[in-house]
Amino acid sequence: MRTLNARLAPVLGLLLGCVLALGPARAQEPSPQAPANACAGSSNFLIGAARSDITGPAAEVGMMGYGQVGQKTEGIHLRLFSRAFVIASPCNGKKVAFVSADLGMVFQAVKQQVVERLRAKLGDTFSDDNVLLSATHTHSGPGGFSHYTFYNLTTFGFVPQNFEAIVSGITDSILRANARLAEGSLRLASGDLHGASANRSPDAYLRNPEAERARYPDNVDTRMTLLRMTGADGRELGLVNWFAVHATSFGNTNPYISGDNKGMAAHTFEVEKGGRTPGGPDSFVAAFANSNEGDVTPNILGGTNGGGANDFEDAAISAKKQSDFAEHLWTNAGMPVMGGVDSRHTYVKMDAVDVAPAFADGSAHRTCPAAIGLSMIAGAEDGPGFGSEGATCESVHDVWSQFSCAAVTTPCQGEKPIVLEMGTMKPYPWSPEVLPLQVVTVGPLALVAVPFEVTTMAGRRLRDTVRAQLQGAGVTDVVIAGPANAYSGYVATREEYARQDYEGASTHFGPWTLAALQQSFSGLAASLREGASVAPGPTPRDLRKAVVGLQPGVVFDDKLLWVDFGAVAKEAKAAYARGDTASVTFWGGHPRNDLKLGGTFLRVQQRQADGTWKDIANDGDGAALYHWQREYCVPTLACSQVRIDWPIPRDAQPGTYRLVHEGNWKSGWDGRIHPYSGSSRPFSVR
């Protein structure tokens, strides 16, 4: 979550104004019980992978990530997908589902309802314990899918259509991955990808102890860990890799839905492996998942500069670096994964954790009710907001001498000058405080699922804590998987917190949040190692009946009397050269009439020798842009125009092409929704 826009001040008052200034043959299901050591030396797994469309409304919905009121969806660069992997170990009868979704974060309500729907379909096969939902952390997706007020402020409330697209899509991807379970093998590889990430808060990182920093060559985690999945018949099924970097190649003025660098890298790899058709039964599924990306930016040249001429090039550069290195690891993945799968999960009331001295500074501490600090409104370097970072209660005191530190913070929150206490809002907190913590193991790989954005050093400490408990159980690789299962801000180290840069100011539960996580995850990991059960913890709220949405739906669509929906308003040129951009504008309908899940709003087609037209691109490729805008035509304000832009690749085949738009319009007489389509004139590419 980035800066919150100051334009919400009239709504929320002066204080908040400060804050807001079917497929392969199915294999036998694993047995429900097995001895704890039954998997020692076993490399037999059941593996299933699937991908589903989760793209939300492509027009007039505030985007999730930067928190800018004015940043609303106006089209699609690249559709958003849920990539699901189900791995089962016949040796111990256990199963886990891992999802990497092209979302800014997986909010708690999403996890709750996905698990609820899985249970309705499959009974006790899946639960909170063995389902891990993670986000790629793209900042270019529509918002309004949380049940907590704080995350719906800039979208003016809850957006049911987007929430349903996300929940149904994630659920579908898991169900289809589970239905495709078949015998297979796993291999693990890791290596260091340099030059693809930078620390955006280096001064805060330097606050960490020198001896600790000396253990690491970089102030970001350059490690990419990759899990390669192959069927018993030799067919390549998919991969997951984890690499820590923000999906902020697209900035806070971008209006196009996109999976950003992670989504582009995933799509590139899938195309290379022959998986271009989304959701196809033989599709290769590649997930480029995130890790402890809290203070890590893809904009390696500083600020918002990723090395390209614009956001599209920045994202493409970052995507290529990740995709190329993943190809290297894929090719060299020689370590067979042996062992079973397992998981532990609990809920923790994060605002009331008593932290033992051993996990802190030698003294006992307690976490705090959720609050954000002044530096949050300044944003981070790749998402600048208002003011500057590093505002502590002391520096605020220096500027406004009439205030004391006690006036701007609480003892529990330490150096943080508080501008909004989400945790004390009534009747419900504005952000969740009962949060899910989870550890999943796949042979020697442990995934630490955190509902936060964790900074580089905080992630290192958390990994060390879990590794200390699991290394005797054969775990060699520990990966932070997040943000996952819910979301409640950042986690910085105690030392980074003291500086109060963006990440520290966004650490909701105070300076000892990381210590509380280390304590809780140490217990989870120990229980997993010992084969012991874990208490479920307090039950989080289900707020589905309490959400409010202020944004109206589509009333009706209109057009000029003498044109039809799908008619061309601005035609393509007769010919283009490779490297040019072909562009056509159509009279259209509002994209919220039908999200085209599993479909497309556009097609780039090439004429074949027999006169038929073949699709060569759609809005799930990132190769052409779908742009929607409201057209204020007489006598109503309900007209829409759709522009399709196709940047013609320099290696495009010479020939005849056309651009096609497909949509739906809503009648103002009976409210019915009707499909339409239109196409441009044929044009030549030289």
CA 95-163-314 angle, 5° bins: 85
**pLDDT in the model for residue 432:** 98
Q: Is 627 annotated as a binding residue?
A: no
**pLDDT in the model for residue 379:** 85
Residue 558, domain member (yes or no): no
* DSSP state letters, 121-179: HHGGG--TTTEEEEE--BSSEE----SSGGGGGGGTB--HHHHHHHHHHHHHHHHHHHH
Q: Is 433 annotated as a binding residue?
A: no
Q: Are 84 and 47 within 8 A, CB to CB?
A: no
Specify the residue for token string 């495709």.
Answer: 180
The encoded tokens of residue 583 equal 């562009």
Backbone phi, psi, residue 69, to 5°: -60, -40
Q: Is 137 annotated as a binding residue?
A: yes
Shared domain for 243 and 147, answered yes or no, is: yes
Cα 414 off chain centre by: 30
Please name which of 332, 365, 349, 335 lies closest in space to residue 432, comparing C-alpha atoms.
349
Range of the domain at 663: 568-685
Specify the residue for token string 């969740």.
Answer: 432
Shared domain for 58 and 172, answered yes or no, is: yes
Q: How many Cα neighbours within 13 Å face the side chain of 506? A: 25
**pLDDT in the model for residue 3:** 41
| Residue after which a domain boundary falls, among 470, 487, 504 | 487
Backbone phi, psi, residue 32, to 5°: -70, -25
CATH number, domain with residue 576: 2.60.40.2300
Backbone phi, psi, residue 412, to 5°: -65, -35
Residue 125, domain member (yes or no): yes
Residue 88, domain member (yes or no): yes
Rounded mean pLDDT, 536-552 = 93
**pLDDT in the model for residue 29:** 41
Report the distance separating Cα 363 and Cα 352, nearest Å.
Answer: 16
**pLDDT in the model for residue 35:** 46
pLDDT band of residue 403 (cuts 50, 70, 90) is low
Q: Are 546 and 150 within 8 A, CB to CB?
A: no
- Give the model confidence (pLDDT) of 306-351 as tens digits: 999 999 999 999 999 999 999 999 999 989 999 999 999 999 999 9
Residue 368, domain member (yes or no): no
Report the distance separating Cα 511 and Cα 53, nearest Å.
Answer: 39
User: Is residue 543 over pLDDT 70?
Assistant: yes
Shared domain for 480 and 586, answered yes or no, is: no
Q: Is 661 annotated as a binding residue?
A: no
Note if the bond before 160 is cis, omega within 30 degrees.
no
pLDDT band of residue 14 (cuts 50, 70, 90) is very low
Cα 469 off chain centre by: 29
Rounded mean pLDDT, 437-442 = 98
List the beta strands (DSSP E) in 318-359: 335-336, 341-349, 354-355
User: Is residue 233 over pLDDT 60?
Assistant: yes
Shared domain for 471 and 575, answered yes or no, is: no
User: Is residue 670 over pLDDT 60?
Assistant: yes
Kindly report the length of the chain. Answer: 686
Report the distance separating Cα 585 and Cα 567, nearest Å.
Answer: 9
| Residue after which a domain boundary falls, among 437, 465, 487 | 487
**pLDDT in the model for residue 275:** 60
Shared domain for 86 and 224, answered yes or no, is: yes
Backbone phi, psi, residue 99, to 5°: -125, 135
Say which range, 142-146, 548-552, 553-557, has the weakest mean pLDDT. 548-552
Shared domain for 475 and 593, answered yes or no, is: no
User: Is residue 24 over pLDDT 50?
Assistant: no
* DSSP state letters, 637-679: S-EEEEEEEEE--TTPPSEEEEEEEEEEEE-TTT--EEEEEEE
**pLDDT in the model for residue 13:** 35
Report the distance separating Cα 134 and Cα 53, nearest Å.
Answer: 16
**pLDDT in the model for residue 569:** 97
* DSSP state letters, 214-280: TT-SSSS--EEEEEEEEETTS-EEEEEEE----B-SS-TT--EE--HHHHHHHHHHHHHTT--STT-
Shared domain for 188 and 288, answered yes or no, is: yes
Bridge partners of residue 76, in order along the sequence: 257, 626
pLDDT band of residue 37 (cuts 50, 70, 90) is confident
In this structure, are strands 75-76 and 625-631 parallel, antiparallel, or unpaired? antiparallel
Which residues neighbour 286 within 8 Å (Cβ) at sequence distance 6 or greater? 83, 238, 239, 265, 266, 269, 270, 273, 275, 326
Specify the residue for token string 């599993």.
Answer: 598
User: Is residue 7 over pLDDT 50?
Assistant: no
367 DSSP 8-state letter = -
The encoded tokens of residue 553 equal 């739906």
377 DSSP 8-state letter = G
User: Is residue 23 over pLDDT 50?
Assistant: no
Shared domain for 334 and 463, answered yes or no, is: yes
Rounded mean pLDDT, 381-397 = 84
Say which range, 102-116, 373-387, 440-454, 503-517, has the weakest mean pLDDT. 373-387
Say which range, 190-199, 381-390, 537-546, 615-624, has the weakest mean pLDDT. 381-390
pLDDT band of residue 381 (cuts 50, 70, 90) is confident
Report the distance separating Cα 211 and Cα 348, nearest Å.
Answer: 32
Mean pLDDT (the chain, rounded):
92
The encoded tokens of residue 613 equal 């037209």
**pLDDT in the model for residue 409:** 78
**pLDDT in the model for residue 552:** 84
Which residues neighbour 93 within 8 Å (Cβ) at sequence distance 6 or greater? 30, 31, 32, 33, 34
Q: What own/partner pairs with CB < 8 Å and gap ≥ 24 does 378-381 have? A: 378/3, 378/502, 379/2, 379/3, 379/66, 379/502, 380/2, 380/200, 380/201, 380/297, 380/501, 380/502, 380/503, 381/200, 381/201, 381/297, 381/299, 381/302, 381/303, 381/304
- Give the model confidence (pLDDT) of 51-80 as tens digits: 999 999 999 999 999 989 999 999 999 999
Shared domain for 137 and 272, answered yes or no, is: yes
Shared domain for 74 and 184, answered yes or no, is: yes
Say which range, 175-189, 197-211, 285-299, 407-421, has the weakest mean pLDDT. 407-421
AA identity, residue 589: G
User: Is residue 126 over pLDDT 90?
Assistant: yes
Domain count of the chain?
2
Shared domain for 204 and 62, answered yes or no, is: yes
| Residue after which a domain boundary falls, among 487, 510, 532 | 487
AA identity, residue 461: R
Residue 529, domain member (yes or no): no
AA identity, residue 403: F
User: Is residue 180 over pLDDT 70?
Assistant: yes
Residue 16, domain member (yes or no): no
In whole angstroms, how large is the CA radius of gyration of the chain?
A: 25
**pLDDT in the model for residue 20:** 33
Residue 220, domain member (yes or no): yes
Residue 226, domain member (yes or no): yes
- SS3 readout for 487-536: CCCEECCHHHHHHCCHHHHCCCCCCCHHHHHHHHHHHHHHHHHHCCCCCC
Within a 10 A sphere around the Cβ of 16, how many other Cβ atoms? 18
